[in-house]
Amino acid sequence: MTVDATVAPQPRPWGIIMTVVWIVVAVIVMMIATLAAIFVFFPDGAMDAPAFEKDARAFGILSLVAATSAAAVLVIAAKLAGWRVSDYLALVPPDRRVALQSIAILVVFVMAFDAITYLIGKDIVTPFQVDLYKNAAASNSLLIMWAALVIAAPVGEEIVFRGFLYRGWAQTPRAVWPAVVVISVFWAVIHTQYDWFGVFQIFLIGMLLGWVRWRSGSTLLTMGLHALINAWATVQTIIKVSSL
């Protein structure tokens, strides 16, 4: 067997520090884009943060803008590193067997955690979810709410966390699990709309998604699992609101 000498080795990804720098740039661009969207779509006056979180139309539009702008910056960063974007961000189809295994594990995890949540007397559906869904139903914003929760959030967050950050921080086998833990912590703490128990649940989900990213080598799979989680949470919210 001969080796094609014309095939160039894969460039090194951005290192730990430059990965952080690019994330900071992405956050800044995301904030600017979000502010611009507020002026464009809500020119009649600024709303405070709690009101925004309960306004389904605002939540949906700003989520889509934030995800798109942050992802655009990281796509540019991947190209500047000399990679194909799909390779750098692991936007590749997973092995079918690994995908089915990951879905099965996710279902078991979600069912088990919901059972534990119920047994310890915690709300499976949070007040944030209930308020957002009620506002979406009242303002005819259900479609944009679904788009934000099942498309924008999974795609945008997975590109940032299991895509770009993972590539930069998990460059060696020994670095994988420290990177997964730190990334899961960062991902959990940005979900300020939940209490400590909700944040802890998101951390555990982050650990699971990190394992899936390592096992499959595919961020497309973590996007799909993330979308399933959010879709199921939304269905639970619909059931709860309907029963009230």
109 found inside a domain: yes
Give the Cα-Cα-Cα angle 140, 146, 151 (nearest 5 degrees): 145
Cα–Cα distance for residue pair 205/183, rounded to 1 Å: 11
238 found inside a domain: yes
Range of the domain at 145: 16-243
186 found inside a domain: yes
52 found inside a domain: yes
Per-residue confidence band for 41, with pLDDT thresholds at 50, 70 and 90: confident
61 found inside a domain: yes
Q: In this structure, is the dihedral angle defined by the CA atoms of residues 243, 203, 24 and 150, taken in order, positive or negative?
A: negative
Per-residue confidence band for 151, with pLDDT thresholds at 50, 70 and 90: very high
How many other β-carbons are positioned within 10 Å of the β-carbon of residue 196?
A: 7
Q: Closest by alpha carbon to 59, among 173, 230, 186? A: 230
Per-residue confidence band for 45, with pLDDT thresholds at 50, 70 and 90: low
167 found inside a domain: yes
181 found inside a domain: yes
Radius of gyration over alpha carbons of the chain, in Å? 19
Phi, psi of 87 (to 5 degrees): -75, -45
Per-residue confidence band for 2, with pLDDT thresholds at 50, 70 and 90: very low
Q: What is the pLDDT of the chain when averaged over all its residues?
A: 91
Q: Specify the 3-state DSSP secondary structure of 33.
A: helix
Q: Is the pLDDT of residue 215 over 80?
A: yes
Cα–Cα distance for residue pair 81/84, rounded to 1 Å: 9
pTM, rounded to two decimals? 0.91
How many folded domains does the chain comprise?
A: 1
Percent of the chain with pLDDT over 90: 82
84 found inside a domain: yes
